[in-house]
Amino acid sequence: MDWGTELWDQYDIIDKHTQSGLELVEKYVKFVKERTEIEQNYAKQLRNLSKKYNLKRSSKDEPECRLSSYQAFLDILNEMNDYAGQRELIAENMMMNICIDLTKYLQELKQERKTFLMEAKKAQQCLESTYKQLDSSKKRFEREWREAERAAQYAEKTDQDINATKADVEKAKQQAHMRAHIAEECKNDYAAQLQKYNKEQNQFYFSDMPLIFNKLQDLDERRVQKLAQGYILFSDTEKHVMPIISKCLEGITKAGTNVNERNDSVVVIEQNKSGFERPGDLEFEDYSQGINRASSDSSLGTPKSHVDLPGKNKSKNFWLFSKRSKPTVTEDFAHLPPEQRRKRLQQKLEEIHKELQKEVDQSEALGKMKDVYEKNPQMGDPATLASQINQTSQNIERLRGEVNKYETWLAEAGGRGETFRYKTQTFNNNGAHDTNSPDGAQTDDATPDPSQAIYAEFDDDFEDEELSAPIGKCTAMYNFPGASEGTISMQEGEELAVVEEDKGDGWTRVRRNNGDEGYIPTSYVTITLNK
370 CB neighbour count, 10 Å cutoff: 20
Q: What digits encode the pLDDT tens for the residues 64-77?
A: 777 889 889 989 99
Residue-wise DSSP of 400-468 = HHHHHHHHHHHHHTTTTSTT-----GGG-TT-PPPSB-TTSPBPSSPPPPTTTTTT--TTHHHHSSPPP
- CATH assignment of 3-259? 1.20.1270.60
54 CB neighbour count, 10 Å cutoff: 16
Three-state SS for 102? Answer: helix
pLDDT class of 426 with cuts at 50, 70, 90: very low
Write out 143-197 in H/E/C secondary structure: HHHHHHHHHHHHHHHHHHCCCCCHHHHHHHHHHHHHHHHHHHHHHHHHHHHHHHH
Choice among 121-130, 282-291, 339-348 with the minimum mean pLDDT: 282-291
Q: Which helix (H) or strand (E) holds 511?
A: strand 507-511
Residue range 500-524: average pLDDT? 86
The structural domains of the chain, with segments of one domain joined by +, span 3-259, 352-413, 472-529
pTM: 0.55
Specify the higher pLDDT residue, 197 or 61: 197
pLDDT class of 531 with cuts at 50, 70, 90: confident
Residue range 384-393: average pLDDT? 89
Residue range 356-363: average pLDDT? 90
Q: Is pLDDT above 60 for 466?
A: no
Q: Considering the chain, what percentage of its residues have pLDDT values greater than 90?
A: 45
Q: What pLDDT, on the 0 to 100 scale, is given for residue 96?
A: 94
Specify the higher pLDDT residue, 323 or 509: 509
Most trustworthy range by pLDDT among 131-140, 429-438, 461-470: 131-140
Give the C-alpha separation, 444 to 144, whole Å. 149
Q: What pLDDT, on the 0 to 100 scale, is given for residue 444?
A: 41
- Tell me the residue ranges of DSSP E strands in 283-323: none
- For all residues of the chain together, what is the average pLDDT? 81
Fold held by 472-529 = SH3 type barrels. (2.30.30)
